[in-house]
């Protein structure tokens, strides 16, 4: 059985060998999602050296994405790093691209547009926009060396809520009761 598109969720291929799934991986919207059981995510390797992601621990929310290239990220600079992977994200979901906490805390490496969003209708290569936040010329600042196969970011699949936009002349009383008494930044830092 195969899924030729996003029109039907029942076409996702069951995967055997995953603990606790009785040989079947559910699909979005099935009991697999609400029960915390995994469901299938179709991934296409665009180059042979691309690495299919995996969760590093049983409780991990994000799965790691790896670089397919060698690069040097100098302090204060950014670089778009290829993963060599395309994802068939189910309709009603997005894939959020987030920094790896160890790279951010220890080396100042983050993602410019964190979290980045990969929409379900984007089926091209996922690339990561890395930024070296170290100050150029500052004592101790160093280039960050990326090697092919390095884990450079993590991704989380998340449900998306779509809205219908309704233009109004004024907000009703219910909306006005939510007014917090100030504009952007009005709550301060303490």
pLDDT of residue 184: 72
Question: CA 85 to CA 136: how far, in whole Å?
Answer: 32
End-to-end CA distance of the chain: give it in Å, rounded.
56
110-145 confidence digits (pLDDT tens)? 999 999 999 999 999 999 999 999 999 899 899 999
Determine the pLDDT at residue 93.
96
Phi and psi at residue 84, to the nearest 5° = 70, 15
Q: Which of 96, 140, 85 is nearest to 119 (CA)?
A: 96
Measure Cα distances from 182 to 34, 168, 173, 186 in Å: 38, 21, 17, 5
CATH 2.70.40.10 residue ranges of the chain are 42-162
**β-bridge partners, 154:** 64, 98
In angstroms, rounded to a whole number, what is the distance separating the alpha carbons of residues 99 and 107?
Answer: 12
CATH class of 42-162: mainly beta
CB 24 within 8 A of CB 10: no
| Strand, helix or coil for residue 76 | coil
Can you tell me the distance from the alpha carbon of 159 to that of 117, in angstroms, rounded to the nearest whole number?
A: 12
Flag residues of the chain having pLDDT under 50. Answer: 1-32
The pLDDT value recorded for residue 36 is: 62
User: What's the whole-model pTM score?
Assistant: 0.75
**No. of helices (H) and no. of strands (E), the chain:** 3, 11
Q: Please classify residue 157 by burial: count the beta carbons closer than 10 Å to its beta carbon, then call 0-12 exposed, 13-18 middle and 19+ buried.
A: buried
Q: Is the dihedral of CA 171, 176, 181, 186 positive or negative?
A: negative
């Amino acid at each position: 059985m195969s899924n030729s598109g996003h029109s039907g969720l029942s076409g996702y291929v069951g995967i055997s060998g995953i603990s606790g799934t009785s040989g079947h991986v559910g699909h979005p919207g099935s009991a697999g999602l609400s029960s915390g059981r995994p469901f299938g995510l179709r991934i296409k390797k665009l180059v042979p050296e691309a690495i299919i992601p995996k969760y590093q621990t049983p409780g991990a929310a994000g799965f790691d994405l790896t670089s397919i290239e060698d690069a040097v990220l100098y302090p204060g600079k950014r670089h778009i790093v290829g993963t060599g992977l395309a994802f068939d994200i189910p309709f009603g979901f997005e894939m959020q691209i987030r920094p790896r906490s160890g790279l951010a805390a220890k080396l100042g490496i983050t993602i410019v547009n964190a979290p980045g969003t990969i929409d379900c209708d984007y089926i091209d290569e996922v690339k990561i926009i890395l930024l070296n936040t170290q100050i150029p010329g500052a004592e101790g600042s160093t280039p960050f060396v990326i090697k092919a196969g390095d884990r450079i970011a993590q991704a989380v699949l998340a449900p998306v809520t779509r809205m219908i936009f309704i233009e109004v002349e004024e907000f009703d009383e219910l909306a006005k009761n939510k007014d917090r008494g100030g504009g952007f930044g009005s709550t301060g830092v303490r």
